Amino acid sequence: MTKNFAFRGALLGSCLAVAATSVTAKELRGWNIHVEDYPVSIAMESFAAEIAERTDGELTAKIFHNGVLGSQPDAIEQIRLGVIDFGEFSLGPMGTSVPETNVVSLPFIFSSIPKMYELMDGEVGEAIGAGMMARGIVPLGWYDAGARSFYNSVRPINTPADVEGLKIRVMSNDLFVSMVESMDGNATPMAFAEVYQSIQTGVVDGAENNPPSYESTSHFEVANFYSLTEHLIIPECLCMSKVTWDKLTPEQQTIVKEAGRSSATLQRELWQAREAASMEIVQAGGTVVNTIADKGPFQKAMAPVYEKFLAENPDLADLVNLIRNAD
Ligand code: BDP
C-alpha cells in the first residue's frame, strides 16, 4: 500500500514535470535570407545553440534559412508584429521602418570596416539601436557585411560615367534608387531572391553586393564584371521582436543578449575568411574584377544623395556628422 502510494506519487510528480516543461518551453522562429553555410547562418545557429544550452532547453530556436519565411522587407514588418521572433537583417531595407538606420545606408559614410565596427559598438550603434527599440525591434548584435560593390553583365565600371544607362537592382529603399540615379543609372528595387533570374533574362544588367553574397547567390555566373567601388558599408543586425522579448524572463533576456553578442564576435571572424574565399571562387569562375584606385569621382557623383537626405531628415544630421567626423 505504502509502496503503491509512493509509486503513484512519483508518477504524478513526473506528469507535473512534463506539464511544467511544456508550458514554459518556447521555440523561437528565426528568419534568415542566406544559405546554410553563410557566416550569418553559422553565427545564428551558434546563437540558437547557446540559448538552448544556457536555458536548459527552456528556450530553443529554429532558424529558417534561405529566406523561406519571406522577403526581407516583409520579414522586418513581421518581426515588428511578433509573427517572427528573431532574424538577421541588413540595415539597408530597414530604413523604411526605422529612419535612424538610413544613416548607414548613405554611400561612403564609414571610412573603413574597422571604423564601422568601432562606431557601431559605441555611440552610433546605441543611437540606431534606440531607434529600432522604439519601433519594436530589439538589437542583439551587430554583424559585418563588408562593403558592397557593383557587378553587371555589360562592362567594367571604372568611373561614375560607366554606370550611365545600366539597369541596376537595388535593395528596397529610396536611398539606393537615388544613389544609382546620381550616376544616371536605372535603379530597380527588387527582392534578393529574384536577382539571379532577372540578370539572366536581362530584366536588369546587374546589382551590387559584397563578395560573399555575390558568390553564394551565384550572381557571378550571370554578371561577370565586378567593380570594387565599395560604395556602401552597411552593418547588419541580429535582432528580436520586442513582442517576443517582452515575454522572456529577465534571466532569459540576459542570456539572449549575451548569446547575441557572442554570435556577433563569431560572425565577424567568419566573415573575414568567407570574403577572401568568395573572391577566389568568383575569380576562378571567370569574374573580371577591377579595383578603383580613386573613389573620389564616385563620392562626388553621389553627394546629392546626402543633400536630399539631410534636407528631408534634418533631425538625423547630428548622427550623420557623428560618423563623418569620427576620423
Ligand atoms: C546581402 C545582405 C542581405 C540582403 C542582400 C540584398 O546580407 O540581408 O538581403 O544583401 O542585396 O548582402 O538584398
pLDDT tens digit sequence for 231-264: 999 999 999 999 999 999 999 999 999 999 999 9
Residue 82 DSSP symbol: T
| Ligand 1 atom 4, closest CA | 90
Q: Helix 303-312 to helix 174-181 angle, to the nearest 10 degrees? A: 140
Is the model more confident about 16 or about 294? 294
Contacts of 126 (CB under 8 A, 6+ apart): none
Q: How many CB atoms neighbour CB 55 within 10 A?
A: 20
* pTM assigned to the model: 0.92
Please check whether residues 249 and 315 belong to one and the same domain: no
Amino acid letter, residue 253: Q
Cell of 41: 547562418
The pLDDT, as a whole number, for residue 319 is 98
Ligand 1 contact, 173 CB (< 6 A): no
Please check whether residues 138 and 195 belong to one and the same domain: no
Q: Ligand 1, closest atom to CA 40?
A: 7
| pLDDT (mean) for 47-65 | 98
Nearest by Cα to 143 from 48, 266, 257: 266
Residues in the chain: 327
Ligand 1 contact, 217 CB (< 6 A): no
Cell of 54: 544556457
| Ligand 1 atom 9, closest CA | 192
- For the chain, the domain total comes to 2
Per DSSP bridges, beta strands 137-143 and 236-241 are antiparallel
Nearest by Cα to 241 from 61, 119, 93: 61
Please check whether residues 138 and 217 belong to one and the same domain: no
Please check whether residues 265 and 294 belong to one and the same domain: no
pLDDT in tens, 164-199: 999 999 999 999 999 999 999 999 999 999 999 999
Q: Give the CATH number of the domain where residue 25 resides.
A: 3.40.190.170
C-alpha distances (whole Å) from 25 to each of 28, 83, 200, 252, 257 are: 10, 18, 46, 12, 18
Please check whether residues 246 and 214 belong to one and the same domain: no
Amino acid letter, residue 269: E
Please check whether residues 161 and 112 belong to one and the same domain: no
CA 23 to chain centre: 33
Ligand 1 contact, 120 CB (< 6 A): no
pLDDT in tens, 265-275: 999 999 999 99
Nearest by Cα to 78 from 28, 31, 45: 31
Please check whether residues 228 and 85 belong to one and the same domain: no
- Element (H or E) spanning 159, and its range? none
Ligand 1 contact, 170 CB (< 6 A): no
Please check whether residues 267 and 308 belong to one and the same domain: no
- From 276, 293, 308, the end of a domain falls on 276
Ligand 1 contact, 209 CB (< 6 A): yes
Q: Are 270 and 260 in contact (CB under 8 A)?
A: no
Please check whether residues 225 and 240 belong to one and the same domain: no
Please check whether residues 302 and 314 belong to one and the same domain: yes
| pLDDT (mean) for 317-326 | 96
Domain that holds residue 175: 148-232+281-324
Ligand 1 contact, 72 CB (< 6 A): yes
Please check whether residues 259 and 160 belong to one and the same domain: no
3-state secondary structure of 247: coil
3-state secondary structure of 291: strand
Q: Are 226 and 149 in contact (CB under 8 A)?
A: yes
pLDDT in tens, 118-142: 999 999 999 999 999 999 999 999 9
Please check whether residues 34 and 99 belong to one and the same domain: yes
Pocket test for ligand 1, best of 168, 169, 170, 192 (most atoms within 8 A of CB): 192
